[in-house]
């Protein structure tokens, strides 16, 4: 099949899934909604997000993933992302909701930063990448996920940490796309579109998995 035609087919499937998602969302508001409908809604969202990730990766490979840069207030962005996240809304573990918070105690801003807590990034692409990391963290978390950032004069790094079982030894290599499949590749593509950076996934010292995504910034 022609590559361009394949992409058009994926676009069509994504649009159809968006319509199905809207129908299933209406079912989710009914008090008598069966558990099977809830699971179908969640799987529909996950599949739609995978297709969006695939299309974003295709754009990157074609050299057409160009960031729409703008100033972002980082703490506010993270709080808004969490409050609007479908992963947070749908995420649960053994029937218990996973608590997701911005860990303000771990936010660090270096002394030489001119615009403290503000970075010039593509808000849509950043949200797409962090939502993917957040979804993965919620899936394996026991009860909570923390997210924060560290800002240097020439970079900003985002962290997502869960309190789950952590990774197998073979999964802890930094920048290994197979670690989280499509999601890790997506995050690498987003940082590359911004001019470079680093993405990694490893075990946290205090337990659980720690995702890191660094963007190199140009003043």
- List pLDDT tens digits, range 157-179: 999 999 999 987 665 544 443 34
Could you tell me if 77 and 39 lie in one domain?
A: no
Could you tell me if 145 and 201 lie in one domain?
A: yes
Which pLDDT score is estimated for 40? 83
Burial category of 21 from C-beta neighbours within 10 Å (exposed 0-12, middle 13-18, buried 19 and up): middle
Could you tell me if 76 and 114 lie in one domain?
A: yes
**Cα–Cα distance measured from residue 132 to residue 65, given in angstroms and rounded to the nearest whole number:** 17
In whole numbers, what is the pLDDT of the chain averaged over residues? 85
Comparing 24-28, 161-165, 194-198, which segment has the lowest mean pLDDT? Answer: 24-28
Could you tell me if 139 and 115 lie in one domain?
A: yes
Could you tell me if 53 and 78 lie in one domain?
A: no
The helix/strand/coil state of 193 is: helix
Contacts of 124 (CB under 8 A, 6+ apart): 68
Which tens digit of pLDDT belongs to each residue from 48-103?
888 888 889 988 988 999 999 999 999 999 999 999 887 777 655 445 578 999 99
**Which structural domain, as residue segments, surrounds residue 129?**
70-216
Q: Categorise residue 176: left if φ over 0, alpha if ψ from -120 to 50, beta otherwise.
A: beta
Could you tell me if 84 and 168 lie in one domain?
A: yes
Could you tell me if 174 and 132 lie in one domain?
A: yes
Could you tell me if 115 and 136 lie in one domain?
A: yes
Q: Number of folded domains in the chain?
A: 2
Could you tell me if 57 and 116 lie in one domain?
A: no
Could you tell me if 134 and 185 lie in one domain?
A: yes
Which pLDDT score is estimated for 171? 55
What pTM does this model have? Answer: 0.83
Comparing 18-27, 145-154, 204-213, which segment has the lowest mean pLDDT? Answer: 18-27
Burial category of 36 from C-beta neighbours within 10 Å (exposed 0-12, middle 13-18, buried 19 and up): exposed
Closest CA to 154 of 104, 102, 119, 108: 119
Could you tell me if 208 and 103 lie in one domain?
A: yes
CATH number, position 144: 3.30.565.10
Could you tell me if 77 and 56 lie in one domain?
A: no
Which pLDDT score is estimated for 32? 77
- Taken as a whole, the chain contains a residue count of 219
Question: Which of 61, 78, 109 finishes a domain?
Answer: 61
């Amino acid at each position: 099949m022609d590559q361009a035609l394949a992409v058009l087919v994926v676009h069509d499937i994504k649009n159809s899934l968006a319509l199905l998602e809207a129908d299933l969302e209406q079912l989710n508001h009914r008090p008598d909604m069966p558990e099977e409908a809830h699971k179908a809604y969640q799987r529909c969202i996950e599949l739609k997000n995978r297709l969006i990730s695939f299309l974003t990766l295709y754009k990157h490979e074609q050299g057409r993933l160009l960031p729409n840069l703008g100033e972002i207030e980082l703490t506010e962005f993270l709080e808004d992302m969490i409050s609007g996240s479908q992963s947070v809304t749908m995420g649960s573990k053994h029937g218990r909701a996973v608590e997701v918070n911005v860990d303000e105690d771990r936010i660090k801003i270096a002394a030489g930063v001119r615009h403290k807590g503000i970075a010039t990034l593509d808000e849509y692409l950043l949200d797409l990448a962090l939502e993917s990391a957040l979804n993965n963290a919620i899936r394996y978390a026991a009860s909570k996920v923390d997210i924060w950032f560290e800002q240097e004069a020439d970079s900003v790094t985002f962290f997502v940490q869960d309190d789950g079982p952590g990774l197998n030894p073979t999964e802890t290599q930094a920048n290994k796309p197979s670690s989280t499949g499509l999601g890790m590749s997506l995050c690498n593509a987003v940082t590359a579109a911004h001019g470079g950076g680093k993405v990694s996934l490893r075990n946290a010292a205090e337990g659980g998995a720690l995702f890191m995504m660094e963007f190199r910034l140009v003043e």
